[in-house]
Amino acid sequence: MQNILTIPAQGCTLGLTLWYTSVLPSLLPFFILSGLLIRTGAFRFLNRIFAPVLTRIFPVSSDGSYAILMGYLCGFPMGAKVIAELVAHQHISREEGSYLMVFCNNVSPAFFVNYICIAKLGFTKVPPILFCVFYGVPLLYGYIYGRFFYKAPVSSHNISGAVRSVHTGASLVTQKQVSIHRIDFPMLDTCIMDSFTTITRLGGYIILFSIIAQMLTLFHLPVPLTAAIAALLEISSGTHALSALPLTSTPIRTALVCAGASFGGLCTCAQIISVLSDTDLDLKPWITGRLLLPLLMFPAVLVLLSPGPVLPGCW
């Protein structure tokens, strides 16, 4: 009886600690800053650097390239947050937002390097090929999906009716962009309150799934099954459980961890759905991608990191 009463409290403490010490300081500043950049239109200064390359690889508009940049630099759910704001302010279309959701929500590089590779997998130096594979698989998936399953709109308009750059197929039509709006206190207040609302929601989901993960200890399940369920529920505890499996093969353990991290856990999925709750995006492509990416990630990491005469690994 004591365990049943104390384990939820332990899970709540772990979830709250994770939210307060990691999620809050790492995401809140980006939420506020990105909200200001989108509302003022200043994010287009970054697009001038990256959009010429990204719009030629992916069938996205110049404004849509900002979601790719932030999604890969900041990790989930920042990618979904940016996409939701771009759609809400009519910088990109609903169809483009649904497409960007397919591949712009991944683990942040800082979390992948520091927590997954160094803290849990025990690398002293992250193999460059592992980093490239982990982020290359979703990029390749997004590229293939964009070329064969997504039809980019011919044109796109913002609130004021000004037309932006839209990449369709091999052509890039350069069009007029809107002016930059000044930051004022109502805009800043809106960004701060919206960011705190979002970060509080995320904290609630993290605490809830941390409690569920702690409750698994009551059932005394086999270690592999417990690790699989933990990976299905939440990325941090899932990574810890998978990396601790008694496996003799480091490539297999690494492939399992990377596959679990590419899914992100139901906790992350709940956070993303919460961020997108005020939008009408089609989430079917995103859900399909969440299910397919682990199936693609595991063999890709295993093959490229396993020693062999054709593809020598790092071990």
3-class secondary structure, 89: coil
Domain annotation covers residue 254? yes
DSSP 222: -
Domain annotation covers residue 118? yes
List the structure tokens of 29: 């500043």
For residues 181 and 132, give the distance between their C-alpha atoms in angstroms, rounded to a whole number: 38
How far is the CA of 257 from the CAs of 14, 109, 208, 277, in angstroms?
21, 15, 22, 29
Domain count for the chain = 1
For residues 59 and 146, give the distance between their C-alpha atoms in angstroms, rounded to a whole number: 6
In 3D space, the residue among 125, 184, 175 whose CA is nearest the CA of residue 155 turns out to be 175
| Domain of 221, in residue numbers | 2-176+185-305
Predicted local confidence at residue 180, as pLDDT: 67
For residues 70 and 85, give the distance between their C-alpha atoms in angstroms, rounded to a whole number: 12
List the structure tokens of 185: 């206190």
Domain annotation covers residue 258? yes
Domain annotation covers residue 239? yes
Domain annotation covers residue 312? no
Domain annotation covers residue 311? no
pLDDT of the chain along its 315 residues, tens only? Answer: 546 778 888 889 988 988 888 888 888 998 999 989 998 888 988 888 999 999 999 999 999 999 999 999 888 888 999 999 999 988 999 999 999 999 998 998 988 998 899 989 988 888 888 999 999 999 999 999 999 988 876 654 444 344 444 444 333 333 344 556 777 788 889 999 999 998 998 899 989 998 888 888 888 889 899 999 999 998 988 898 899 998 767 889 999 999 999 999 999 999 999 999 888 999 999 999 999 999 999 999 998 877 654 334 444
Predicted local confidence at residue 307, as pLDDT: 62
Domain annotation covers residue 13? yes
Predicted local confidence at residue 154, as pLDDT: 61
Are 110 and 27 in contact, with CB atoms under 8 Å apart?
no
Concatenated DSSP letters for 56-81? HHSS--TTHHHHHHHHHHH-TTHHHH
Give this prediction's pTM: 0.83
